Chain A
């Protein structure tokens, strides 16, 4: 295979390297340029803090380039929603057709940059609250180009630190000494971030969350719940909700001493057909008990006879019984 590279390509690559310097990566196969990669930002002068969106442009040169179109891919979009990406992609296709026969990478970078500059406000939602970003919102861009309402990110970082402390205190002393220090991470990509939580925490909550009407049971939701209840009833009726109404074991529910007391007084050792009813009671009584749902302490819990584990001749059960 010939290794002569089209002069137009050589010139283009040289120019790219001269202008973009470290911001462009040229991957070569042997001496032949193969893939050109660069991260495109909006034009904001030198003010990097004001760049809220970016995208990685990857151009794979085809053997006939520039007389044939290269393969262009946009990767790692940040702050850009699917709609905007689709727009940019279709503009790229047009540009490729218009520019057949001449180097096109600079044109592509310009085209993408123009689009980013126009939309230099993160589109999409804050993944923490699922609200969008609107006028008046205080938001932050992490080093990894993910966006959150400052208020939301503060809540995440405070909760993360609290979790870390709680877990640390569970460790024996010698392990506490060796534990790595707390590191803030991005909720989306887990990259380390460093933010001043106190400043973030002074930000107001997302605008949409204040202006949104308070939650009330809309007809739509009632309708949904009705459908869900019907679905569940159907599943129970045909035994699709497993563990119920058959000879199998009852649902395994973690119990606490408090539950045992309940059981003693209520005598609720009903058959497994009653599980659904009990389920509903349990949910009702737990609506205000959000502290430890995994081990409900205040809800009546179904304690059917425990059977089944030894039916297959397994060794006797150890540890906590699942009464």
Chain B
């Protein structure tokens, strides 16, 4: 394996030493560019109480290009599709090398608090979110309970 850039090592160590509350990111034992991630659902959101597993991969030219991040746990959210792909500008055209693993994950956690049905990735979810928000929120809570909670 090619030498791991020191930036990735620094980020990894800081993630361990100063973890972000509600977020854990753990590099795989076999590939230091692949992280197992758990993001807790933010308080006062329909995802509260849920533990959402994600995978994060740092591509070869990281930090010049964005990490690849995907939800593994099912989630009912207008900006996350059924394959777990996330619609978030900083993962695409708004990526900047000044961002880090921790800031990306914080942004994803913030996206859970602030769904944006006007820029949807999951069309059916976004549609319901717009026409009947309370039912959409009920669905999101139900999915959280069913898929993202213990037992």
Contact = CB atoms under 8 A, between A and B. Distances in A.
Given A163-B65, A163-B93, A252-B82, A231 B26 contact: yes
Nearest to A315: B124
Contact of B1 (A225, A243, A288, A291): A288
Interface stretch (A55-63, A75-83, A90-98, A234-242): A234-242
B28 A283 contact: yes
A111 interface: no
Interface residues of A, number: 61
Nearest to A318: B124
Interface stretch (B69-77, B106-114, B129-137): B69-77
Contact of A280 (B6, B29, B65, B142): B29
Interface stretch (A15-23, A39-47, A209-217, A258-266): A209-217
Contacts of A204: none
A48 B128 CA distance: 56
A315 to B, nearest CB: 7
A234 to B, nearest CB: 11
Given A129-B7, A167-B93, A288-B1, A294 B53 contact: no
A195 to B, nearest CB: 15
A33 interface: no
B30 A128 contact: no
A322 B36 CA distance: 20
Interface string B61-101: 10111001011111000000011110000000111111000
Interface in A219-265: 221, 224-225, 227-229, 231-232, 235, 238-243, 246, 248-249, 251-254
A89 interface: no
B24 interface: yes
Contact of A294 (B28, B70, B94): B70
A136 B31 CA distance: 34
B140 interface: no
A294 B85 CA distance: 9
B51 A286 contact: no
B118 interface: no
Interface string A306-323: 001100101101001010
A287 B74 contact: no
Contacts of B18: none
A288 B60 CA distance: 9
A156 to B, nearest CB: 5
A224 B13 contact: yes
A130 interface: yes
A293 B68 contact: yes
A54 B51 CA distance: 43
B30 A284 contact: yes
A227 B10 CA distance: 17
Contacts of B151: 239, 246
Given A242-B53, A242-B148, A249 B74 contact: yes
A315 B107 CA distance: 31
Contacts of B52: 242
Contacts of B124: 314-315
Contacts of A290: 33, 59-60
A241 B53 contact: yes
B82 A228 contact: no
B150 A239 contact: yes
Contacts of B98: 127-128, 187-188
A320 B148 CA distance: 23
B31 A286 contact: yes
Contact of B7 (A130, A225, A240, A252): A130
Interface of B: 1, 3-7, 9-13, 16, 24, 26-31, 33-34, 36, 38, 50-53, 57, 59-61, 63-65, 68, 70-74, 82-85, 93-98, 124, 142, 146-151
11 contacts: A158-B64, A215-B9, A224-B16, A228-B16, A229-B29, A232-B36, A242-B51, A242-B73, A243-B72, A290-B59, A312-B142
Given A188-B98, A243-B74, A283-B31, 14 more contacts: A129-B7, A130-B7, A152-B97, A155-B97, A156-B96, A163-B95, A187-B97, A215-B3, A215-B9, A228-B36, A229-B29, A240-B51, A243-B53, A309-B82
